[in-house]
Amino acid sequence: MPLLEVKIPPMGESISSGILAKWHVSDGDVVRKDQPLFELETDKITSEGTAEAAGKISLKSAAGDEVKIGQVVATIDPAASGQTSEVRPAPAAAAPAPVAKEGISSPAVRRIAAETGIDPATVAGTGKGGRATKGDMLAAAQGGGAGAGPEAKGEREKSAAPSAAPTPSPIPDRPSSGAPRQTRRKLSPLRAKIAQRLVAAQHEAAMLTTFNEVDMSAVMALRAKYQDDFVKKNGLKLGFMSFFTKAVVHALREVPAVNAQIDGDSLVENHYYDIGVAVSTEKGLMVPVVRDCDSLGMAEIEKAIADAAKRAREGKITLADLEGGVFTITNGGIFGSMLSTPIINPPQSAILGLHAINDRPVAINGQVVIRPMMYLALSYDHRLIDGKQAVTFLVKVKQAIEDPARLLIAV
């Protein structure tokens, strides 16, 4: 039986090569049909290659090699598929983000674990029995730094005992193990492309950011009232992103200038509503696109976002999943961000940044009350979008979130 060649698959017309980032198997392993074999990084996506047949694999390229589309990186001998050699499963890094078991961690902890890939079992917990709290998870996502959220801050303040100020040392501390003080590695194609696009966006667009704040009380009340019924019917929770996606579609219809882009010396007006949702992965930020959001229900939007995020983190996203968006939503609030100025995702003309929800005192009808508030940030290309249009767009989003009934009657 002839050997089966394992080739780098086509990734799209604009991709001719990539980096063979990781092998999930070793030379001489017996692999199963459809078993993940390798991870390929390009300047646009990270994807996996799988075995087309069972058999003994022989590797022809090493991890870290630059490989061309169509290049043979391994061969599989189907005649050896019946050998008793151990079939090595893909390492844990290729699996979906771990989620704590039901009953051990709170829903908030499990949500953050799914979003960030941080295993609650690896976090030093400050809760009962050493369990990780929401604050602990936010602190871990922020690297333990400031802005990890009010719960994490409170736990740190309670655990920080006063101590004498350390005596300054004129010599910086050095690792006692003799480990190097620095490591150096080449940027991955994806990270290099992200860097290039971010710099280009700032140089090519007249970027400006406008801010507002939104009272989340109405949306939170709706979620609390209908969450159980929503989960029973759809098999997943009703989140905030579906509300904001619908609010963005509503605002794009009211202010069509935001749903446009500049192409050379032409103005391109879009009449569809494919919304990109930024997803943080180990390889960098990806923006899978949810198509035709104007015609999708809340459950369909939630399912599409969850599926796209899962595939992005598992390296199964395709180039087609990332193309064609007209507007992007990015949510730094899950990491505890209070306020930021997001960068436009070219060739789009605007991006909406969401942030953490915090109880704050606000004045309503002459009275100071405590409400769950979120800051919103809209970055936009001032060459195309005037300040009045940008502010109006953001106000429309705010009104739709504070009074979701507006989404039903389109006002």
DSSP symbols for 229-273: HHHHHHSS---SHHHHHHHHHHHHHH-GGGSEEEETTEEEE--S-
- pTM of the complete model: 0.63
Q: Which amino acid is at 191?
A: R
Q: Do residues 81 and 54 lie in contact, with contact meaning Cβ atoms separated by under 8 Å? A: yes
- Average pLDDT, integer, range 187-200: 77
Q: Where are the domains of the chain?
A: 4-91, 107-153, 190-409
d(CA 281, CA 258): 28
Closest by CA to 353, choosing from 281, 300, 277, 290, is: 277
Whether 237 shows a pLDDT value over 70: the answer reads yes
Q: Do residues 29 and 87 lie in contact, with contact meaning Cβ atoms separated by under 8 Å? A: yes
d(CA 354, CA 374): 7
d(CA 185, CA 195): 16
Whether 303 shows a pLDDT value over 90: the answer reads yes
Q: Known catalytic residue: 203?
A: no
pLDDT digits (tens, 9 = 90+) for 337-352: 999 999 998 899 999 9
d(CA 391, CA 370): 25
| pLDDT on residue 374 | 97
- The alpha carbon of 129 is separated from its chain's Cα centroid by a whole number of angstroms, namely 31
d(CA 239, CA 404): 14
d(CA 179, CA 171): 17
pLDDT digits (tens, 9 = 90+) for 71-96: 999 999 988 766 544 445 545 444 44
d(CA 283, CA 286): 9
- Terminal Cα-to-Cα distance of the chain (whole angstroms): 68
Q: Known catalytic residue: 382?
A: yes
pLDDT band with cut points at 50, 70 and 90 for residue 409: confident
d(CA 155, CA 133): 10
Same-fold call for 4-91 versus 107-153: no
d(CA 299, CA 239): 9
pLDDT digits (tens, 9 = 90+) for 133-169: 777 777 777 664 333 444 444 444 444 444 445 555 5
Among 65, 228, 292, 386, the one annotated catalytic: 386
Among 34, 228, 307, 382, the one annotated catalytic: 382
Q: Do residues 267 and 356 lie in contact, with contact meaning Cβ atoms separated by under 8 Å? A: no
Quickly count: other Cβ atoms within 10 Å of residue 124's Cβ: 10
Whether 234 shows a pLDDT value over 70: the answer reads yes
pLDDT digits (tens, 9 = 90+) for 347-380: 999 999 999 999 999 999 999 999 999 999 999 9
Whether 252 shows a pLDDT value over 50: the answer reads yes
d(CA 94, CA 38): 10
CATH number of 4-91: 2.40.50.100, 3.40.50.720, 3.40.50.300, 3.40.190.290?
2.40.50.100
d(CA 67, CA 388): 49
Is domain 107-153 classified as CATH 3.90.25? no
d(CA 127, CA 132): 6
Higher local confidence (pLDDT), 65 or 302: 302
Whether 275 shows a pLDDT value over 90: the answer reads yes
| pLDDT on residue 26 | 92
Q: Extract the tokens encoding 136.
A: 């602990």
Edge-first strand listing for the sheet containing 55-59 = 4-7, 72-77, 55-59, 30-31
CATH number of 190-409: 3.60.20.10, 3.30.559.10, 3.40.1110.10, 2.60.40.10?
3.30.559.10
Phi-psi region of 213 (alpha: psi -120 to 50; beta: other; left: phi over 0): beta
Q: Do residues 194 and 284 lie in contact, with contact meaning Cβ atoms separated by under 8 Å? A: yes
